[in-house]
Structure 1
Amino acid sequence: MGFFSRQTIGLDIGSRVVKAVQLVKKGKKIELDKCGIADIYPNGEKPARPDEQRQAIIRAIRQALTNAKITATSAVSAVAGESVIIRYIQLPEMTEAELKNSIQFQAEEYIPFRVEDVNIDFSVIGRSVEGDIRRMDVLLVCARKDLINDHIRLLQEAGLTPEIIDTESFAFLNCFEMNYETGPDDVAALVNIGGDITGIAVHAAGNPKFSRDISIGGNTITAAIQQRLEVSFSEAETLKLERGAPKTTGEGDSGAASGADGGNVLDTIRATVEAMTGGNPGAPSREVQADRAIQSTLNNLVGEIRRSIQFYEGNARGNSVKRLVLGGGSASLKGLDVYMQRELKLPVEIIDPLRRIPVTGGDVDPQFLRDNKYMLSVVVGLALRKVVD
């Protein structure tokens, strides 16, 4: 696409944080020019009323742009969740015109919504021959119209012009492809752990092959701690970040309090001291209860990731997943990569969204990028949509 007459930004509206990025293309190089984030709920607590939540999001969008010193108003953003359906289907070989005319009828078989209620897009990502039958591999993307329309209105209320609305999974994939070499035999499971949603996608031989969103994220862990300890969301978030992922393998609630490592031994001692000094001898410490909530939620997340990988491999004719790549703000949870590697028996790395994108903007603080790079993979992938040919 080359240069554009107007600058376009990537905008990632998360459940609690808005991220904004502006990339520039200089010759064949892509560079980071501006970057800013803003909390949607600065005091930590989400308002009960939907209209107050919406106004908080709009304020955060404007604040992220201000923090980044971005003046461009054309935005590439993304949606995710149960209202976005991504399917990989095989169809008989046909022309693009024929596919365009028939895709709505084809889509009815694969989506849980009425066709008239969704926006449909598609892309041919491969072709194959089985005997005398020629087939084409088609990526089918459907999103509910009410979700897209509401998203567009939100951006407009914030003073922005929607340029492209992508999916978070594909934005993460764009970021991965920009920053990492992949060979013909490389199969990677890309896991983007956001606040409310985790996107799981499999990238094989240069193409997306599987994609799924599940309703578990960093906020799910925090909410589990909040419910178990009856504390505020902010207090639960602090405990989550302090404790991190479980250090021992275990199922359900039992593993986090097993006493199998030094931290849990200290919890046992602390509980004993509490009992000797008049505390409830049967009550686990706050730390033990937080560990149990974290492990229980992460066990559910790992189970969903494992099932997704197994589903892909069951249809991939022996082309198994070789590694796991983590991203999203919740990938920063202490020890999460080690935990995932142990539980899934796969090499795990955390994506570096700026591995091949130098930072040239004079207003971008390098320490800010180091502290927040975990959450930038989607927004960088979105910004890439308008600078990559």
Structure 2
Amino acid sequence: MAKQQSIGLDIGSTAVRAAEIAFSAGGVGGELRAYREVPLPDGAVRDGEVVDATVVSAALKELFSGSKFSSKEVILGVGNQRVAVRALTLPWAPFDQLRASLPYQVQDLLPMPVDEALLDYYPVEESHENDIRSYDGLLVAAARDTVSANVKCAEQAGLLPVGVDLNAFALLRAMTRGRLAQGNVAIVDIGAHITTVVIASDGDPQFVRALPIGGQAMTDSFARASGVGPNEAERIKCELGMNAVKYPELRDGAEAMNEVATKLVEAIRGTFGYFTSASGGEHLDVVALTGGSAHMPGLGQYLASSSRLNAILGDPLETTTFAKSVGDRTQFEANAVTMTTALGLGYGVGALV
């Protein structure tokens, strides 16, 4: 069977990352053929939106210069609080017609004017009731200017965006190819400024929420309360995490950092509770953590104990094979949780354009 091949491009707050994946339709895993990331200075991307296009475009040029990527065609991700995801049932229609009708059917559901939004619909299942066919699925509405800024930035770097997809769906594609393919699963991606929670049942997305808090807020709170620099605060967060409170000389900063971590965990728990209520009592089987702060000592354990759920470190490489040109799994294990979005974008064909 012929393999599809595409490049996922994740424009994050701390780095730009690209992953080239070859995969077969219906296959469980894919082959990683190229991967690279280039760091971004603080503030170049804020809350999922490009702030300094010149800096980000330069980083994208570096990302693809002299690299092993076979093409400059990329699938971009989008995901922040200016992207709304709503459960929605729509009358059955051929899908092209249904997608074209979205502006007329959903304008009262959006937190933004419909002409300022890019719309897409993800059908989860088709239902029949009283001889009426309908789709149950998720409506996705993204602020047009946010998407346009990311697309233009990529184009300025000489890249050709061939699709734009929701980061939450990319997380799902990367994470539900192995042991998380069955049951009710929550993927929690803790980025620098945004934490994305996506809940799936047997691999199909059921609920998505973007929380306006991430790992950088914890680092900043430690730095402010303790008086240390941002690099030292980040080191302590990564090495000691919530356990830093055990050290008297670190207590002021650690208590401030843990207060932010507690707010994040409470927001995540609230999202789980909303899903259980809205789904008629469905409960989660497992929570998988990804993103830059997934490794933070104590955070996963605290989330597990407070939510009474099994929380594990996500493994987006579980079913991935590796081309000889990129090496083997051991070269990527340390950074696997930050690769998740780029990998998932590489598995998909974005339609939100």
TM-score normalized by structure 1? 0.80
Q: CA RMSD in A?
A: 2.9
Deviation at 1:130, TM superposition (A): 5.4
Query: Is 2:73 aligned against 1:70?
Result: no
Aligned match of 1:144: 143
Larger radius of gyration: 1
Q: Which moved more, 1:187-196 or 1:227-236?
A: 227-236
C-alpha distance in 1 between matches for 2:44 and 2:138: 38
Deviation at 1:47, TM superposition (A): 7.0
Aligned match of 2:22: 24
Deviation at 1:336, TM superposition (A): 2.5
User: Could you list the per-position Cα deviations for residues 266-321 of structure 1 after superposition, in whole angstroms to 9, with x for gaps in the alignment?
Assistant: 52xxxxxxxxxxxxxxxxx3x11221122111111111111111111111122211
C-alpha distance in 2 between matches for 1:178 and 1:230: 44
User: Could you list the per-position Cα deviations for residues 330-353 of structure 1 after superposition, in whole angstroms to 9, with x for gaps in the alignment?
Assistant: 212123322221121100111111
3-state DSSP of counterpart to 2:176: helix
C-alpha distance in 2 between matches for 1:211 and 1:135: 21
Deviation at 1:205, TM superposition (A): 3.2
**Aligned ranges 1:298-337 → 2 under 5 Å:** 298-337=261-300
**Aligned ranges 1:25-104 → 2 under 5 Å:** 25=23, 30-41=30-41, 46=43, 53-66=52-65, 69-93=68-92, 96=95, 99-100=98-99, 102-104=101-103
**Aligned ranges 1:1-389 → 2 under 5 Å:** 2-3=2-3, 8-25=6-23, 30-41=30-41, 46=43, 53-66=52-65, 69-93=68-92, 96=95, 99-100=98-99, 102-129=101-128, 135-183=134-182, 186-246=183-243, 257=245, 264=246, 266-267=247-248, 285=249, 287-364=250-327, 366-385=329-348
Q: Which moved more, 1:368-377 or 1:232-241?
A: 232-241
Runs of 5+ in structure 1 lacking a partner? 247-255, 258-263, 268-284
TM-score normalized by structure 2? 0.88
Contact 2:13 2:44 (C-alpha < 8 Å) held by counterparts = no
Contact 2:88 2:136 (C-alpha < 8 Å) held by counterparts = yes
Deviation at 1:206, TM superposition (A): 3.2
Runs of 5+ in structure 2 lacking a partner? none
Q: 1:145 to 1:46 in 2, by over 3 A?
A: closer
Percentage of identical aligned residues: 26
Aligned pairs, how many?
A: 346
C-alpha distance in 2 between matches for 1:93 and 1:55: 44
3-state DSSP of counterpart to 1:227: helix
Contact 1:35 1:364 (C-alpha < 8 Å) held by counterparts = no
C-alpha distance in 2 between matches for 1:20 and 1:58: 14
C-alpha distance in 1 between matches for 2:11 and 2:327: 20
C-alpha distance in 2 between matches for 1:205 and 1:137: 15
Contact 2:304 2:311 (C-alpha < 8 Å) held by counterparts = yes
